[in-house]
Amino acid sequence: MALKIAVIGAGFAGLGTAYYLSKTGHQVTVFEKDSQPGGLAVGFKNSKWSWPLEKHYHHLFTSDTAIKSLADEISHPIDFYRPKTSTFIDDQIAQLDSPFSLLKFPQLSLPDRLRTAFGLALMRFNPVYKPFEWFTAKKYITTLMGQASWQKLWEPLFIGKFHDYADQISAVWFYGRIRPRSASLGYPRGGFLSLAESIQSAAKKNGANFIYNKSINNISELSKFDKIVCTLPTALFSKISGLHYPPLPGLGAVNLVLALKKQFLTDGTYWLNINDRNIPFVCVTEHTNFIDPSHYAGDHLVYVGNYLPKEHKYYTYSNTKLLEEFLPFLQRINPNFEKSWISRSWLWTTPFAQPVVLLNHYVPPLTTSIPNVYLVNIQQVYPWDRGTNGAIELSRKVTELIC
């Protein structure tokens, strides 16, 4: 019998849920507070560009099988490339994206490079995540890779990303970042917004209905539905359902996006980790060193990224104020860089971008204590780090649970 099912949110979890449930013949209605699909992976478009750009940098790994198989099923191509990842350390850019580049990495001694490679390999080739729940990432790294590796390579990134939580992050979060990582990175043709629109079209063909600019403030608004699938972060779900969950810490994101007349990372680096904590951002990501600038009318697109607690002052800044603050640091990375290179800038913020995974981490279940109400969200992708692939994987799981 076809059930009437409401889905709250048209991010990748909501889109996947709408697609899979409508495919099995259920009558699905999606409610989304924004005006378009995509959620955290949504894009924006300058009038000259042929492709939209994500507000926050996004790519896929070759191990992201759930989203790849959905994209295949609906004939939306995902292209894979081998862009360069590097680290800004001691005022130099050093490539660091393969065992070979690690073995050449000048900022660590040879024994420390070998220990670091061993600690990473133990995560890469181990299919079992459970033992990593017993200790922190710091403990794992200092014990296996050594103090120098922690202090030079990892600690600046943990502080940059997790701030006061840096020493307490579970080793399982680190495992979830290292194990699925691939050197080749994928990007949906036309961008993540275009893939989101393709999933929406496929769900619509199955009879799903999408209602945009509609915020659900209480699940009682959906009482005419047989089942409800909520894809909001747990704290928001608590608000609209009245259910209580243990506190789940998280951080927001602040991304300054620059459209430049010239290439910024001239060695071709796509992803630059910033290992210097005197610099007030954690990564510089040159999207057009990954995806051809011809899709963006020749603009060179650069993200200057940060994960921050929601009370941080940068959430109150304008793009021009943040740019003024970042300018001297961008010039340290590329001494030739001038303000005149910038043709446009945007500032995108989101209050919830990154779950903080500590020891004894609590993962909310898909079922809730309200019958026929399900929760599918970014905090359940565990042991993997959050991502669009995890969102699609969970949407398949909740569909199996309902059908």
Ligand X SMILES: Cc1cc2nc3c(=O)[nH]c(=O)nc-3n(C[C@H](O)[C@H](O)[C@H](O)COP(=O)(O)OP(=O)(O)OC[C@H]3O[C@@H](n4cnc5c(N)ncnc54)[C@H](O)[C@@H]3O)c2cc1C
Alpha-carbon span 160 to 356, nearest angstrom? 13
In the complex, what is the shortest distance from the CB of residue 289 to ligand X, in angstroms, rounded to a whole number? Answer: 15
In the complex, what is the shortest distance from the CB of residue 128 to ligand X, in angstroms, rounded to a whole number? Answer: 24
Alpha-carbon span 303 to 297, nearest angstrom? 17
Could you tell me whether strands 342-355 and 250-260 are parallel, antiparallel, or unpaired per DSSP bridges? antiparallel
Which residues bind to ligand X, rule: CB under 6 A? 8-14, 31-34, 39-41, 56-60, 215-216, 231-232, 236, 253, 350, 353, 377-378, 386-389, 391
How many residues are recorded in the chain?
403
Alpha-carbon span 350 to 400, nearest angstrom? 31
DSSP at 134: G
Neighbours of 312 (CB within 10 A): 16
Alpha-carbon span 374 to 377, nearest angstrom? 10
In the complex, what is the shortest distance from the CB of residue 132 to ligand X, in angstroms, rounded to a whole number? Answer: 21
Which CB atom, from 105 or from 210, has the smaller least distance to ligand X?
210
In the complex, what is the shortest distance from the CB of residue 103 to ligand X, in angstroms, rounded to a whole number? Answer: 26
In the complex, what is the shortest distance from the CB of residue 36 to ligand X, in angstroms, rounded to a whole number? Answer: 9
Which CB atom, from 193 or from 333, has the smaller least distance to ligand X?
193
Which CB atom, from 142 or from 389, has the smaller least distance to ligand X?
389
Which CB atom, from 51 or from 341, has the smaller least distance to ligand X?
51
Is 159:166 a contact under the CB 8 Å cutoff? Answer: yes
In the complex, what is the shortest distance from the CB of residue 151 to ligand X, in angstroms, rounded to a whole number? Answer: 26
Alpha-carbon span 281 to 57, nearest angstrom? 14
Which CB atom, from 166 or from 254, has the smaller least distance to ligand X?
254
Which CB atom, from 9 or from 52, has the smaller least distance to ligand X?
9
